[in-house]
Amino acid sequence: FPEPFDFRFHSFPGIGASITLLESAALAALMKSVQAKRVFEFGTYKGVSTTQMAMNLSPDGLIYTLDLPEGGGDRVALQISKKSEREIAIETGKGSLIPKDLLRQIIFLKEDSARFDPKPLEGTMDLVFVDGAHSSDYVRNDTEKGWRMLREGGVIAWHDCVPSHPEVVKHLRSWIPQPILVHGTTLAFSKK
């Protein structure tokens, strides 16, 4: 980075299945590196990562965050192999932790990512964050759609690039350009 930059974060103690504060800082740095004004997130869940990105977005920026509709997690289009992820998919309260003052910069999309049409957003995103279901089919689907939405020079980042999510790791090992793992985190990224 040519000059120092500030980033903000919001603490969510005791919330599982989420990004860490170090991962929040890494996402903020990635956002700064591409001067992100338009961000797309696969997997809102409770809204922790959405909050961290919104807090580091320019005042005129916008985040699109996609997750299953409330009560729709039992009707997914692609296979979700892990029981714990199937349970998360049917949980209610998607985006419920996002502070109200950030909502003006967030567009919630309630749809299965396998059914989501990225065409209207192709080539418009500065950063795409993939953190939905971790099955091979969903990681492939979300990555390919995210890449299409990314502008030239934009960044795509993935969460949970660790051995406990082998299908994420396997998919990313075959992805070109080869993702870079952020040391000390479970984040990886590639630049378009």
Per-residue pLDDT of the chain (192 residues; tens, 9 = 90+): 557 778 888 888 888 778 999 999 999 999 999 999 999 999 999 999 999 999 999 889 999 999 998 876 667 888 888 888 888 888 889 999 999 999 999 999 999 999 999 999 999 999 999 999 999 999 999 999 999 999 999 999 999 999 999 999 999 999 888 999 999 999 999 999
For 18-41, the pLDDT digits (tens) are 899 999 999 999 999 999 999 999
For 74-94, the pLDDT digits (tens) are 678 888 888 888 888 888 899
Token look-up 């502008």 returns: 151
Q: What is the CA radius of gyration of the chain?
A: 15
Q: Angle CA(166)–CA(180)–CA(157) in degrees, nearest 5?
A: 75
Cβ–Cβ < 8 Å for 73, 91: yes
Burial of 170 (0-12, 13-18, 19+ CB in 10 A): exposed
Please tell me the distance from the alpha carbon of residue 170 to that of residue 152, in angstroms, as a whole number: 25
Question: Which of 95, 160, 159, 153 has the alpha carbon at shortest distance from 127?
Answer: 153
Cβ–Cβ < 8 Å for 161, 73: no
Query: What is the predicted pLDDT for the residue at 2?
Result: 57
Query: What is the predicted pLDDT for the residue at 73?
Result: 64
Q: Label the pairing between strands 150-158 and 188-191.
A: antiparallel
Cβ–Cβ < 8 Å for 24, 8: no
